[in-house]
Amino acid sequence: MRRVALLAMLAAGAGWCARQPVRARHGMVATREAHATDIGVAVLESGGNAIDAAVAVGFALAVTHPSAGNLGGGGFLLARFADGRTVFLDFRERAPAKASHDMYLGPDGKVTKDSVLGYRASGVPGTVRGLEMAHRKYGRKKWAELVDPAVQLADGGFPVSYGQARSLRSKDTNERLSQFPESKRIFLHDGRYYEAGDRLVQPELGRVLARIRDRGAKDFYEGETAQLLAADMKEHGGLITLDDLKNYRAIERQPLTGSYRGYAIVTAPPPSSGGVGILQMLGVLEGSGYEKSGFGSAATVHYMAETMRRYFADRSEYMGDPDFYHVPAAGLLSPRYIAGLRSTIDPEHATASASIHPGKPETHESSETTHYSIVDAEGNAVAVTYTLNNSYGSAVTATKLGFLLNNEMDDFAAKPGEPNLFDLVQGEANAIQARKTPLSSMTPTIVLRDGKLYLVVGSPGGPTIINTVLGVLVNVIDFGMNVADAVDAPRLHHQWMPDVLRVERGFSPDTVALLKARGHTIEFENAQGEVAAILAHDGWLEGSADPRTEGTAKGY
């Protein structure tokens, strides 16, 4: 209640700081879970760089944050090095070779539950290969040193937090995980449930991590782990084969770049839809004067919602895997196209989503989750967002392996034109195809000011990720908040369809009433996203994990 009251005061325009960020001089780590944060800081203190810490944190979260941290999923890593180089690693899950366009349609033409629950919901995992690629190309410390802390956590166990215990006991989690014997045994304690403070020991996962520590990613994709996973898939009707695992490759892509009010934005390219979305929406906001009414005003929220609505209409038509589909990113981000979008916004009235259709960009070209942010003493910055898709993924724990599998196949358009798990409407550009990467909303983002590192940010949350990251960016740049206030401030989300403006509780009742008067249909959310952010300012690193979670930020 205290947090809600503070946010309400902030939303009403109170000119004070609700919370101070964590400050440090040398390095900073912000993650969803305290053990992972501590491991990341220990790596930095022992001479590792930000990439080393990112690898160690990724494996630690696979143990301590099973709803999203993973070996059985995938994600994106964005890095900006102190010498100015930038890199984006795509280790997103991929469709198995046996995948097909209509694989989730039943005899009645309707989408089955197979894209969200069970073995058939999983794409080929990429996390282990992606972290290995990051370490091989950009890391400094020995691989075994980075994986071993996760091995120790799995073998020795760790105390379950209050939030994690509640998550595992929730009705939805219980109903899903209890359908699969290994998930029920490990994560539901065979129906006895974990209480806060109970120790969660995961010996099967520990053995997998030990093999990865000793033999590298090759074990996961070709060795004993791969053999066990492929056999488990075959026995339970899954599609992933040993060949799918052997053939998986992480991809290094060129980050997407743009600018906003003189700040340089480095963000995620396709197959993320987030980077294009961030740059398009910032382009619409810039020059509009939307910010003059102040944070939390009805006029500001209305203009942001209308901007979001227009991008998500474009997303439904034009975003997909750039290796399979030509994503017209340059057209979607051209100044003329953005100016056209801006001109359609009525500052006093909501535009019905049914009257908005994907635009006509020029075709020229010059595309449950968790996020963590890391900056090291040299000024190298890493933003990682990785996922199982839904909380606890497909609910399947691989037999004899101890890790949950993703349900990332639902991020494809199982039936183009119809909503998916997140109520997102998507088109043929994101239809299922063998070996294709599903479209993602993950948006790790780095901001530079005067050519120097300024902000590292990202969030989980399905399609809300894009708008959550947008909100933090404008809170810092346009509304002058410190990084903790920018993370804490109430959030909003509009994704075109359904035609609903979702807002966190914390906006003032007057703001909500004025938004309704403008024609918005309002739904309240208790919490949106899970930001981990770091701001570099005046020789200090300022870190903030999200108070909506049990996340922590720590520096040295």
Torsion of CA 331, 333, 337, 339, to 10 degrees: -170
Given 31, 225, 300, 369, which residue is catalytic? 369
Rounded CA separation 221/131 (Å): 13
Residue keyed to tokens 């008067």: 517
With the C-alpha atoms ordered 395, 398, 401, 405, is the resulting torsion angle positive or negative? negative
Q: Which of 104, 51, 94 is nearest to 415 (CA)?
A: 104
Length of the chain: 556
Taking alpha carbons only, the member of 350, 552, 386, 362 closest to residue 458 is 386
Estimate to the nearest angstrom the gap between the alpha carbon of 324 and the chain centroid: 22
**Of 460, 294, 313, residue with least CA distance to 388:** 460
Q: Calculate ∠ Cα 12-457-3, nearest 5°.
A: 35
Question: Could you please report the per-residue DSSP string of 494-515?
Answer: --SSS--EEEEBTB-HHHHHHH
Tokens of 441: 């909303």
Peptide bond into 498 cis (omega under 30): yes
Contact 246, 221 (CB under 8 A): yes
Residue 290: what are its φ and ψ, rounded to 5°?
-55, -30
User: Could you give the CA distance from residue 464 to residue 470 in angstroms, rounded to a whole number?
Assistant: 10
Q: How far is it between the farthest Cα atoms of the chain?
A: 62
Residue 171's contacts (CB-CB under 8 Å, 6 or more residues apart) are none
CA distance 357 to 360: 9
Determine how β-strand 74-80 pairs with β-strand 28-31: unpaired
The tokens of 188 are what? 């539901």
Q: Of 75, 29, 39, give the one whose Cα is nearest residue 154.
A: 39
d(CA 547, CA 235): 42
- Helices 274-285 and 335-343, interaxial angle, to 10°? 60
User: Is 344 a catalytic site residue?
Assistant: no
SS3 content of the chain, % helix, strand, coil (to 5): 40, 20, 40
d(CA 549, CA 531): 9
Q: Which residues are catalytic?
A: 369
